[in-house]
Chain A
Amino acid sequence: MAETPDPDAGFAAAILRRFAAIAESHLLYSFTRSWVVMIAAVFAVTIIAAALAAQWIAPTNPLDLASLDLMDSRLPPAWMEGGDPRFLIGTDDQGRDLLSALLYGAQMSIGISLAAVGVAILLGVTLGLISGYFGGLFDTLIMRAADVQLTFPAILTALLVNGAARALLGDQRLQGGEFWVLVVSIGLAFWVQYARTVRASTLQERHRDYVQAARLIGVPSWKILTGHVLPNVLGPVTVIATINLALAIITEATLSFLGVGLPPSHPSLGTLVRVGNDFLMSGEWWIVFFPGVVLAGLALAVNILGDWLREALNPKLR
């Protein structure tokens, strides 16, 4: 009983301790050692920052339909013959400035992906904690559900949830709700991994002396869970979240590409590629090229960061 629980050991304090430990580990060391990781980090941060600042740095507002001029449609990048200096990387079929559309689109994609990963974490961590800590019927139900869902690829789950939402809401009510339909369908597709990881660590922690001691002296369950169990799963959850972010970005783009994501008037990386794909045959490569590169680069960079995090933190993931 050396480790009696500190009554002040709240969630915040625990997280601070956790991150102090991470900083002391060779995380920083390995970061500065690998130039690939550095480039990936710089790329990801640049894209994300530019996307978040789209409202301020984009030359035009692609959502403002009144400003569009069909005469400007399908112009090549500025440096090519027939290019227009107003449109640095060309325009799409609506005459939208591709750079602006790209910035707004990236913002939309990143926003959806972050929100979806948030939904997945919230759902997965909560269910994992309940499953591991209380066991019994909860555990059986949740883990069976996880097993069944794992049988299906995430993209299929997302498509089914998406299709069900469309049928439930109908086309009119869906207007404007596409963002949340995407968030929920992607989030529901990715919760299983968090639930399993959190459940495994919770099972381990539950039998530790200090948790038993805390239970004996009557510390409420939620306090034990947030103060002691949760901080211990932060490492693995961070890694899964990073890798999932890349997956979520790809999934959002895929859904939008398949035509079940955002409507074409709302640019996201996927819708831009979808639109651009139609013009690839006629040689207007830039409409698909730039969104494609940003999408692939972003997914690759986040993946590299996730790989590096996994190795540096070395949690037992699988």
Chain B
Amino acid sequence: MSSYLVRRLLEAILVMVVVAIVAFTLFRFVGDPVNQMVGQDIGIAERDRLRAELGLDDGLLVQCGRFIWNALHFDFGISYKFRAPVTDLIAARLPATLELSLAASIFAIAAGIPLGVHTGIHRDGALSRLIMAGSLIGVSLPTFLIGILLIYLFSVTLHWLPSYGRGEVVSLGFWQTGFLTGSGLRALILPAVTLGLFQLTLVMRLVRSEMLEVLRTDYIRFARARGLTDRAIHFRHALKNTLVPVVTIIGLQIGSIIAFSIITETVFQWPGMGLLFIQAVQNADIPIMAAYLLLTAVIFVTINLIVDLIYRAIDPRIRMSGRV
């Protein structure tokens, strides 16, 4: 068990090192940091001075090491565009993204699992077919179109919910939360649904196919042959056995929720990291892109590790053998 954990941890660190090198390459070679920081009218001598000051004349390994060292201390340099430390920019926007992602994940899981169970159990029912058809449409609709559709329906036409922004936020020290105000919660609904819808369909389809698979197994047939009630069979035996792959995918999807928040935040002008990142891409603001890349990598890798631990808790067999 512990040796397995150590190996997974080493793998995670390896991924992080690779990503860090990619981020450094972006940071150092894509676009000239000096050109980005100074105007056209600055002389060569001034540029060289700045270059030396930034340490751009040192050896590559030294620079890469310094980049990683700084990153470990949450120092990602200065944004070309905003002329402010990237760390401050991201820290100010992180809570908005995390709250949105959390709300979207909860929505996707809370709706996706029951729908998947239902369509798995009643695979040929009329309601199931309707849900499945709806899910194919959900998968095919680009996130931004869903957002636009929801805005048109609930903001422009019905005037029920706000179409952009976070509403009022309450400051809890360094964390600005929208969870504590009515307008904050109302502002959260449309973006969270938009962001969660795609994940919802994925969770649902996965739970459904896993349910179908599990319901065909011998232990479910044996459970039926023992006269257990449908409820016990479906929820105590079948659902629990679908959870290992489902937890995996949900974990991985939390990662992609954070990535997809870029789109949702753009549609709803949600002041989070995604919006910051897309502005950075538009402006070729490399320090922000590099920092975002590192940050999302940390989040993904951490989630992967947690997912691993969770399914050890669910499935006793993995504890024994070390692998699925």
Contacts and interface: CB of A to CB of B under 8 A. Distances in A.
A170 B163 CA distance: 34
A259 B277 CA distance: 12
Interface in A237-289: 246, 250, 253-254, 257-260, 273, 277, 280-281, 283, 285, 288
Contacts of A295: 142, 145
A174 to B, nearest CB: 10
Given A151-B301, A299-B140, A303-B136, A260 B281 contact: yes
A166 B284 contact: yes
Nearest to A302: B140
A141 to B, nearest CB: 11
A84 interface: no
A59 B65 CA distance: 59
A167 B286 contact: yes
Nearest to B155: A281
A162 interface: yes
B144 A254 contact: yes
B293 A299 contact: no
A160 B31 CA distance: 14
Given A167-B284, A258-B278, A292-B148, A152 B259 contact: yes
Interface in B286-309: 286, 289, 293, 296-297, 300-301, 304
Contacts of B31: 167-168
Contact of A162 (B144, B149, B281, B304): B281
Contacts of A292: 145, 148-149
Contacts of B304: 151
Interface residues of B, number: 43
Interface string A137-166: 000000010011001110110011011101
Q: Point out which of B19, B141, B280, B281 has the most chain A C-beta atoms below 10 A from its C-beta.
A: B281
A167 B145 contact: no
Contact of A285 (B152, B262, B280, B282): B152
Nearest to A36: B133
Contacts of A254: 142-144, 263
Given A152-B296, A164-B30, A273-B148, A280 B136 contact: no
B12 to A, nearest CB: 10
A281 B155 CA distance: 9
A304 interface: yes
B139 interface: yes
Contacts of A307: 136
Contacts of B180: none
A295 B163 CA distance: 22
A300 interface: yes
A122 interface: no
A260 B266 CA distance: 12
Interface residues of A, number: 39
A300 B137 contact: yes
B119 to A, nearest CB: 15
A253 B263 CA distance: 11
B256 interface: yes
B13 interface: no
A296 interface: yes
Contacts of B260: 153, 155
B281 A166 contact: yes
Contact of B139 (A144, A156, A303): A303
Interface string B22-46: 0000100011000000000000000
Nearest to A251: B142
Contact of B255 (A153, A250, A257, A258): A153
Contacts of B293: 160
B18 interface: yes
A310 B26 CA distance: 38
Contacts of B19: 148
A257 B18 CA distance: 30
Interface of A: 144, 147-148, 151-153, 155-156, 159-160, 162-164, 166-168, 246, 250, 253-254, 257-260, 273, 277, 280-281, 283, 285, 288, 292, 295-296, 299-300, 303-304, 307
Given A151-B300, A160-B281, A162-B281, 5 more contacts: A152-B259, A163-B281, A163-B289, A167-B286, A303-B140
16 contacts: A148-B18, A151-B300, A153-B256, A156-B262, A167-B31, A250-B142, A253-B144, A254-B144, A257-B144, A258-B263, A273-B148, A281-B156, A288-B148, A292-B148, A296-B142, A299-B142
